[in-house]
Amino acid sequence: MTVIRTTQVSPTTEKGFSVLGRAKQLNAGVHKAYIDGQWVEPGGGEVWQHRHPASGEPDFTIARSSASDVDRAVRAARRAFDEGPWRQMRARERKLILRPIGDLVRAAEKELAELQSLDNGLPIAIGSGFRFSGSFAADLFEYHIGWIDKLDGSVPPVFSSHADAQMLTLREPVGVVAAVTPFNAPVMQFAQKVAPALAAGCTVVFKPSEYASNVAALFVRLIEQLDLPPGVINLVPGDASTSAALFNHPLIDKIAFTGRREVGEIILRAAAPGIKRVQLELGGKSPSIVFDDVEDISATARYAMSLVSMGLSGQLCSTQTRALVHRSVYSEFIAAATEQLADVRIGDSFDAAVTSAPLVNAAAADRVERLIQGALQEGARHVAGGDRVTELPGGNWITPTILADVSPSMTIARTEVFGPVLSVIPFDDEEDAIRIANDSEYGLSAGVYTRNPTRAIRVARALRTGTVGINSLFVYPPPAPFGGYKTSGLGREGGRQGFEDYLETKTISIPLG
């Protein structure tokens, strides 16, 4: 492979760096579970070794909660829901109890950002930005708390004399929620799962990714300062075996999960015996559709490339990893996208100059490398990147990659890479672009880049995807529902619909004659 190297190692980390001191300074590591209002030692005593993805150093350990620990947590949540006051509490009471969490989270914003960077290697400058920040998590909590006393039932009119009865509908919490989140955005993901569940009156057993457990533990310590009844919130750190025990527990009413499609399929099978409610936010293969009438093709190309080269380096389900570009601006787009790579800086995630994250583990880096090689074997044209970073040999680094002349049928165009790889695909006209964009098992997100507002709306409506950004990535404020079509998931997070997904509807009939 001919490599065009434009990615730069941050000067402060060229000679290597150590995260052990920071891990100790931040008191990193989650050594206890939080069950029934108490921090407790997991019964098995086993631990999981975390390695920082930027350097490969073993920096802290995570307790591995066993099936018996999960059972204790679920039963505590079950008691708190069935016998405790939480679900029966008046709206004002629940709202007043939860109201301080926004201020508590904002006060801990710096520590949350540092723990996030330690957990998954997200650059501190990116993690302090709004979407990944404590401020955004606080907004999520406050938004959902605001629904507590506003989402009511209905009193539909009597429809017919043949059914002479007055109907009332009530909204009630779904029950015990198993919430399981991925590594890539732990600050946002905790709030996105826990805020609507608690606001609705549910109880929660939370299991974070083993690659992002410190953030979850800090959130639970903040929630401890509220006057929640024991068992309403529970934390079970661990690995995949911990998640499996939670998915399969018979006393769970709902599973809320964000992660890989393969795990989503496992969850659906686990949910079948008890008909558990399921909310899944899974993978994506999102397109950016670049028309020839964009205002500035160079700026558009640089922006499209930055979505995979900066921040989480493509490790975000909604990232626009397929660039569908009109043939008339195809070459210009590729040239400008290549120039963007000069802006990338890698290295110590606590260095403010670093722009991009490593891949979360060595297996992820190996997988991305295999997908790149496979694309070249299938006929894709290599433009830039795709090599390991020898200057930081312990980390999971692959330089941002551009592959051109990608066919929609190639594996790289159909598989979620979850790495810094942009596949550039030419198209001829609007109909061709929509066909290529929709030719995917996924349907999570998309971007439409054009100066023509009529075309933008027309194409957005034609796309089989849950979210569409016009001339941008989809903006994700708390009131906006987020989720996917097809294999990208079930249900929505955010907005009124996201809150309602934690509620059941009960209908009461009162005879009138």
* Helix axis angle, 186-200 to 91-98, nearest 10°: 160
CA 96 to chain centre: 28
Residue with the two structure tokens 């899944």:
280
Assess contact for 289 and 459: CB atoms under 8 A: yes
Greatest extent of the chain over all pairs of C-alpha atoms, in Å: 85
CB 421 within 8 A of CB 412: yes
The b-or-e profile of 114-150 (16+ CB within 10 A means b, else e) is bbbbbbbbbbbbbbbeebbbbbbbbbbbbbbbbbbee
> Rounded to whole angstroms, how far apart are CA atoms 247 and 178?
7
End-to-end CA distance of the chain: 82
Indicate if 430 belongs to the active site: no
User: Counting beta carbons within 10 angstroms of the beta carbon of residue 510, is it exposed (0 to 12), middle (13 to 18) or buried (19 or more)?
Assistant: exposed
Which of the following is catalytic: 109, 114, 317, 493? 317
d(CA 446, CA 130): 21
How far apart CA 433 and CA 428 sit, in angstroms, is: 7
Given the residues 114, 142, 281, 493, select the one marked as catalytic: 281
- Report the alpha-carbon distance of residue 175 to residue 54 in Å, rounded: 40
Q: How open is the CA angle 83-88-89, to the nearest 5 degrees? A: 120
Give me the residue label for tokens 């009960």: 506
Catalytic status, residue 265: no
349: left (phi over 0), alpha (psi -120 to 50) or beta: alpha
Q: Which residues of 20-36 are buried (b: 16+ CB within 10 A; e: fewer)?
A: eebbeebebbbebbbbb
Distance CA 395, CA 405 (A): 30
Cα separation, 82 vs 86, whole angstroms: 9
Cite the active site residues: 281, 317
